[in-house]
Structure 1
């Protein structure tokens, strides 16, 4: 697995916070920087031939803006961990653990594998003295937002968890039954989740859990969920309601979760508690606006904790 890491110059003076996420098309797609090696592993058909996609997804990764705000960014191609097609779990990381014939009904799928990979990158970040490993956020968009939430739920080393348009089996309540359903996600992507999940196709009410419980597993750490008003497939209202219903768990820690039960208007972020949320104008995407909201949220929680008597404490 090849991790690409950009750090601001301030890393020469003190360790800096980092936002970690997986990308879809290979590291070379996030910036036109010719020093980024072309990804040699699995790439979806839409990103081939790889050489033609250098920098094509740069708008999703505003590296200069992140560096200017004092944040590093770490990213890797999700296909380095597990290919995103139903291969019978013979390729990728799964094959190193159990043979396909030995898989149980609750064995991990691709989303679990991508989450596992995010934790392995965290293993590395803990060893890098330029990185403040106490301030690493895990972030993901769409299916990789599902993976980021699962990684954050399992690995408490991630100090903040961010879901961008993660939808069904991500941040959106399954019982809300709007947008993509459990049956649809299992039919379209049978390799993403365990086989037992298919028992709940068209039977969301039979689920023993729902997605607000996944959000609540981040407590007491800050978590942020974002939607887009034209991304109805990801069910923005269901994503917001997960945040609302996760809030009582933060009360157990004497922390404010979501400070309102009223869904905000577009481009009106809520970031005054330990659960942040916004729904922006637009479609299913990861935009500079989203990143700006995430950095504002991180500033609120991380920079405040780094200050005492008006002075910044070096890590």
Structure 2
């Protein structure tokens, strides 16, 4: 076989391995595609009632997302024990009750523990709560010196003073802007947060998180259809909910799953797989979260699986640069949360997460909410910036970047007051 000249070989390589996956940020370049009908079964049967949705369509969609996208949990693993590490009924200058609760799990001669930081309204019995993971430790969401620093592995971050994958006092309070703790408490809600790295460290290594407690003999990584990290983090949220059902200070029937970015993907999967969550918030969750995959806008399946191969199950790799082969899309994930309240939020500058794809996903999920007599996103016309749509399915796009802001929390609280609380 005749070899190409060196320059042509380089061009061919770039075209084959880079050019075909270049990021698209232009609506005119979004490919034509059909929206998979959430109310049409894989065998072509039309769903026209809540009963048929819950008995036929919802289970088959859930199975597909489990087998081919997020991965199945091998078996149920319950809390072995829980310990209140610290509590104070006069936290935050007397405004809140604070608890730090460690959940412990044991299996395969291994142990895993993670700590829930709870702030609860001081004078409220059975408080509804927002539950969400944080990225760099519970101590980063507050200046509160009593909040314990995790010893779990963390991604290095020079601006947070994190070196050698170790969390320290230097990062205390670095993410207070993302957690409107006082606004949440003033509205009568509690806040529960967990450092996600305690459940499963965010790296392509399945040896030191929850996965290893459920391996079969000789296994050292999940099988192709078994859980990636997003499913593991979702599992951790569900186990926190198990604890809340035992805590007399918490109304476990009104726990709202919240998440930002990869943890927004997590909150969606947690809400889809555990109907006990009273509502779900996805903040800037993008590809593999709220955004439609078939649009191939911003981050794509190929890119996310290349950069973060541990997030999804291995079966998801077959759809990289092959979104047209997917028999589902992310609006059907959102539909699995029906009829419970759902809030999808985007940011104008966060084109990587495809705000329009997140909005359209909310719209196309709405027809399942209609089965239950609920309103959602009734139009395909995106709202103006900072002009939220508040229904059982809610949406806003705000000015700014990929982040969580007070504006987001103000809207989440308003929505929760109307549709959850």
Instruction: Please classify the TM superposition score into its range, dividing by the shorter chain length.
Output: over 0.9
Is the 1:20–1:137 Cα contact (8 Å) retained in structure 2? yes
1:296 paired residue number: 414
* Aligned counterpart for 1:72 among listed residues 164, 182, 190: 190
Deviations 1:250-281 (A, max 9, x none): 1111211223321001100100x210000000
SS in 2 for 1:10: coil
2:101 paired residue number: none
2:154 paired residue number: 43
Question: Within 2, Cα distance between the matches of 1:10 and 1:245?
Answer: 41
1:117-156 equivalences under 5 Å are 117-156=236-275
2:119 paired residue number: 6
Indicate whether 1:158 and 2:277 are aligned.
yes
* Aligned counterpart for 1:257 among listed residues 376, 392, 395: 376
SS in 1 for 2:192: strand
RMSD: 1.1
Deviations 1:39-98 (A, max 9, x none): 1112111151521000111010111111111110000100010010011x1110000111
TM-score, with structure 1 as normaliser: 0.93
1:92 paired residue number: 209
* Aligned counterpart for 1:267 among listed residues 363, 374, 386: 386
* Aligned counterpart for 1:21 among listed residues 121, 132, 143: 132
Question: Within 2, Cα distance between the matches of 1:50 and 1:62?
Answer: 23
Indicate whether 1:282 and 2:400 are aligned.
yes
Is the 1:167–1:180 Cα contact (8 Å) retained in structure 2? yes
Is the 2:211–2:222 Cα contact (8 Å) retained in structure 1? no
Give the Å deviation of 1:302: 2.9
Distance 1:248 1:25, change over 3 A: same
Is the 2:383–2:397 Cα contact (8 Å) retained in structure 1? yes
Question: Within 2, Cα distance between the matches of 1:40 and 1:107?
Answer: 27
Distance 1:118 1:198, change over 3 A: same
* Aligned counterpart for 1:219 among listed residues 326, 338, 342: 338
Is the 1:10–1:70 Cα contact (8 Å) retained in structure 2? no
* Aligned counterpart for 2:293 among listed residues 162, 171, 174: 174
* Aligned counterpart for 1:53 among listed residues 171, 180, 185: 171
Distance 1:204 1:296, change over 3 A: same
Question: Within 1, Cα distance between the matches of 2:246 and 2:340?
Answer: 22
Is the 1:60–1:287 Cα contact (8 Å) retained in structure 2? yes
Deviations 1:149-173 (A, max 9, x none): 0000000010000000000000000
Question: Within 1, Cα distance between the matches of 2:420 and 2:282?
Answer: 18
Unaligned runs of 5+ in 1: 304-315
Give the Å deviation of 1:134: 1.1
SS in 2 for 1:91: coil
Question: Within 2, Cα distance between the matches of 1:232 and 1:267?
Answer: 16
Question: Within 2, Cα distance between the matches of 1:124 and 1:25?
Answer: 23
Is the 1:174–1:204 Cα contact (8 Å) retained in structure 2? yes
1:108 paired residue number: 227
SS in 2 for 1:7: strand
Is the 1:18–1:74 Cα contact (8 Å) retained in structure 2? yes
Unaligned runs of 5+ in 2: 1-113
Q: Over alpha carbons, which structure has the higher Rg?
A: 2
Give the Å deviation of 1:101: 4.7
Distance 1:110 1:229, change over 3 A: same
Give the Å deviation of 1:202: 0.3
TM-score, with structure 2 as normaliser: 0.70
1:227-242 equivalences under 5 Å are 227-242=346-361
Question: Within 2, Cα distance between the matches of 1:282 and 1:171?
Answer: 19
SS in 2 for 1:3: strand
